[in-house]
């Protein structure tokens, strides 16, 4: 039989690739720097390739071949963790560590209501949260650095599995003195002539909103005012810089009456996005995902249209 790398050696390699620093990598693995360095040297000797270039005693860069090996190591470690998760999940549902990713246009408006109920129902669950844009969260899922992510569809998630939770629409937010304030609902074609402020590229809500409004061309939004958060968008609207589109779940938090912003439905209301849990097809925690999905649905925002439970 071939002599195979150990999971410990692979973990050392991945940690060095993450930190690009021997000292910090050793600290994250809870070992001495000499132990970590010896493990890397043993791995390189076993594979007969150079994985790292040591530029100083502590700083390092990963070789091109090393990058490929690191990617494979991440998948192997993820599979090993899934094996342990499968055994643990068979004994206790939603227990132990669970790494949940969430996008910024969902997390602040959904999790504060849902997480207390999750903790109460499953006190042995140790939930770790990571907020980031969709593309980055999918990369972390594929690398095994997240177990599940709370995302908005439609989005190309590749081979990942999905559990749709609910649909939600978007509403128009405008300055308090805007002409839209006199309307009960805003016609979709009225947006085409407005300065529509949007999130910067990379936020899927940008395209979801445009598609939901059936706009055949991008509004006359000022691209120099692209925002990184919904809160920033609302502040810009309150200062008279334009109008924007918000997911309905964000309205209670971001567009209260005291902010100088009015909110109106569109004339034709259609779902802008589907909020869903996404995870790796080979992951062993499908039951945990289903349980988490039910709890999230139990605390879905007002106006959400729930999908049928599995």
Q: Which residues contact 250 (CB under 8 A, 6 or more apart)?
A: 105, 108, 109, 230
Containing structural domain, residue 192: 170-266
Residue 226 inside a domain? The answer is: yes
> Of 28, 43, 75, at which residue does a domain stop?
75
Q: What is the pLDDT of residue 217?
A: 47
Residue 86 inside a domain? The answer is: no
Structure tokens at 2: 């071939």
Q: How far apart are CA 259 and CA 234, in angstroms?
A: 8
Phi/psi of residue 178, each to 5°? -75, 155
Q: What is the pLDDT of residue 222?
A: 44
Q: What is the pLDDT of residue 243?
A: 92
Q: How far apart are CA 20 and CA 130, in angstroms?
A: 21
Q: What is the pLDDT of residue 86?
A: 65
Co-location of 46 and 180 in the same domain: no
Q: What is the pLDDT of residue 214?
A: 65
Burial (Cβ within 10 Å: 0-12, 13-18, ≥19) of residue 281: exposed
Residue 138 inside a domain? The answer is: yes
> Taking the CA atoms of the chain, what radius of gyration do you get in angstroms?
23
Q: How many domains does the chain have?
A: 3
Co-location of 96 and 149 in the same domain: yes
Q: Which residues contact 221 (CB under 8 A, 6 or more apart)?
A: 195, 196, 197, 198, 242
| Helix/strand/coil (H/E/C) assignment for every residue in the chain | CCCCCCHHHHHHHHHHHHHCEHHHHHHHCCCCHHHHHHHHHHHHHHHCCCCEEECCCCEEEECHHHHHHHHHHHHHHHHHHHHHHHHHHHHCCCCEEEEEEECCCCHHHHHHHHHHHHHHHCCCEEEEEEECCHHHHHHHHHCCCCCEEEEEECCCCCCCEEEEEEEECEEEEEECCCHHHHCCEECHHHHHHCCEECECCCCHHHHHHHHHCCCCCCCCCCHHHCECCHHHHHHHHHCCCCEEEEEHHHHHHHCCHHHCEEEEEECCCCCCEEEEEEECCCCCCHHHHHHHHHHHHHCCCCCCEECCCC
Co-location of 277 and 163 in the same domain: yes
Co-location of 196 and 262 in the same domain: yes
Co-location of 111 and 234 in the same domain: no
Residue 85 inside a domain? The answer is: no
Q: How far apart are CA 155 and CA 85, in angstroms?
A: 27
Q: Any idea what the CATH number is for the domain that residue 11 is in?
A: 1.10.10.10
Q: Do 281 and 161 form a contact (C-beta atoms < 8 A)? A: yes
Q: What is the pTM of this model?
A: 0.72
Q: What is the pLDDT of residue 1?
A: 72
Scan for tokens 């439905």, then name that residue.
265
Co-location of 60 and 191 in the same domain: no
Q: What is the pLDDT of residue 308?
A: 86
The low-confidence residues of the chain, meaning pLDDT below 70, are 56-58, 85-91, 202, 214-225, 257-258, 284, 310
Structure tokens at 305: 């249209």
């Amino acid at each position: 039989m071939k002599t195979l790398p150990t999971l410990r050696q692979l973990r050392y390699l991945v940690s060095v690739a993450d930190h690009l620093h021997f000292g910090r990598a050793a600290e994250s693995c809870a070992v001495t720097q000499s132990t970590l360095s010896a493990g890397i040297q043993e791995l390189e000797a076993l594979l007969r390739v150079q994985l790292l270039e040591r530029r100083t005693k502590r700083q390092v860069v990963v070789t091109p071949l090393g990058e490929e090996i690191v990617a494979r190591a991440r998948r192997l470690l993820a599979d090993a963790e899934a094996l342990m998760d499968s055994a643990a999940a068979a004994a206790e549902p939603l227990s132990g560590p669970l790494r949940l990713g969430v996008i910024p246009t969902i997390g602040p408006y959904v999790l504060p209501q849902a997480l207390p109920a999750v903790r109460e129902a499953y006190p042995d669950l140790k939930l770790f949260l990571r907020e980031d844009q969709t593309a980055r969260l999918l990369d972390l899922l594929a690398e095994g650095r997240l177990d599940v992510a709370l995302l908005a569809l439609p989005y190309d998630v590749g081979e990942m599995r999905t559990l749709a939770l609910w649909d939600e629409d978007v509403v128009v937010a405008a300055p308090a003195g805007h002409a839209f304030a006199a309307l009960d609902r805003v016609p979709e074609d009225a947006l085409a002539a407005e300065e529509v402020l949007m999130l910067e590229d990379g936020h899927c809500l940008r395209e979801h909103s445009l598609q939901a409004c059936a706009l055949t061309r991008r509004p006359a939004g000022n691209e120099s005012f692209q925002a990184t958060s919904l809160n920033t968008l609302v502040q810009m609207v309150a200062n008279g810089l334009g109008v924007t589109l918000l997911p309905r779940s964000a309205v209670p938090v971001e567009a209260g009456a005291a902010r100088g912003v009015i909110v109106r439905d569109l004339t034709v209301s259609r779902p802008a996005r589907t909020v869903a849990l996404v995870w790796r097809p080979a992951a062993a925690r499908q039951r945990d995902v289903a349980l988490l999905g039910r709890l999230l649905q139990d605390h879905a925002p007002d106006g959400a249209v729930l999908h049928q439970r599995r």
